[in-house]
Amino acid sequence: MTTTATKTPLNRARFLRRCGRLALAATAASLVTTLPAWAQAWPSKPVKIVVGFPGGSTPDIAARVLADTLAKAWGQTVVVENKPGASGNVAADAVAKATDDHTLGVVINGNLTSAKQLNPRLAYDPAKDFAFVSLIATAPLVLVTPAGQPQGAAWVAAAKAAGDKWSYGSVGIGSVGHLGMEVVKGAVGNSGAVHVPYNGNPAVVTAMMGGQVQMALIPPGVALPQVKAGKLQAVGLTGPKSPLAPDVPPLADAGVKMAPLEVWTALVAPASLSKAAQERLAKDVPAAVRDPEARQRLLTGGWDPQGSSAEGLAARVKDEARILGDIIVSRGIKLE
């Protein structure tokens, strides 16, 4: 009797302790399974960000700032691969076709808004082949003229009067500088200025200072040093006031009424990217762009930091594609 009475409480205590351990284990397992999948699984290996422009270009700067910031947040390697060609379309196509679930792409406006309209045989479909992630940063374009030309409303009047006797430069057919100038021409009214494509913004600036062209839309980082040196004049910005060009007024102040038009860069992924990866990117990329160090690096590199939801990026692409699409169709613009 004594032996049996002694063992029963001990067995019960062991049983209760075992039950407690099993309950704790079950609770822990339940918590793990309710965590977002990306907390366990993504990124599970180095992430690659493909950018379609050379090292040192403004899209490359944005890609490297983002890569450095995300690498710190994830504790994972994030590499940038430069794949120049066809105004970024070669790289965009490579991203669209990636299947490793760890390849992303930094693209510019044209890759998502006008590339397909300019070239129906484009190798990728921006509307179907990408998962939009976030707008990274924007920059206005500066309408510049040679030094000594009229400014403000007087310039608008002079542009109308000049008609097709004036010409403008851009970095190529279908570029934002080209399509943007066509938007400006429409807003000015009666401007028949002729398009002259060049190989890069430095060549556009040289042509303008030499009198070969009378105007151009170029980024602030290229325009402002020449304006400060007195070699060019800034008429206005294609968007609202910007920290990148604080002394340059919007073109609207000169009477040029147009929808804001900026150059921008965004992060996209293949449409096949896993839901786990998309969920993590939706949270981490806007946060990375808002990081104080990243913001300062972007500003120094010629970008106004943004960060957005996937839906915000999609809305911007849709609006701009409509605006530029109307210009492409009405002007009959085609890639040669």
Task: Note if the pTM is more than 0.85.
Answer: no
pLDDT of residue 320: 93
> Band of the pLDDT at 244, cuts 50, 70, 90?
very high
- Compute the average pLDDT of residues 138-161: 92
Give residue-wise pLDDT tens across range 155-210: 999 999 998 999 999 988 998 999 999 999 988 886 789 999 998 888 999 999 99
Please enumerate, as own/partner, the contacts of 81-84 that have beta carbons within 8 Å and a separation of 24 or more: 81/48, 81/49, 81/50, 81/51, 82/51, 82/52, 82/53, 82/54, 82/55, 83/50, 83/51, 83/52, 84/52, 84/53, 84/54
**Summary mean pLDDT of the chain:** 88
> Band of the pLDDT at 28, cuts 50, 70, 90?
very low
Indicate if the pLDDT at residue 322 is higher than 70: yes
Indicate if the pLDDT at residue 133 is higher than 90: yes
- Between CA 307 and CA 287 the distance in angstroms is 8
Indicate if the pLDDT at residue 9 is higher than 90: no
Asked, as a colleague might, if the bond just before 120 is cis with ω within 30 of 0, I would say no
Domain annotation for the chain: domains and CATH numbers:
44-139+263-331 (3.40.190.150), 142-254 (3.40.190.10)
Indicate if the pLDDT at residue 226 is higher than 80: yes
- Compute the average pLDDT of residues 268-283: 97
The three-state DSSP-derived secondary structure of 120-143 is CCCCCCCCCCEEEEEEEEEEECEE
Percent of the residues in the chain that have a pLDDT greater than 90, as a whole number:
72
- Between CA 150 and CA 309 the distance in angstroms is 42
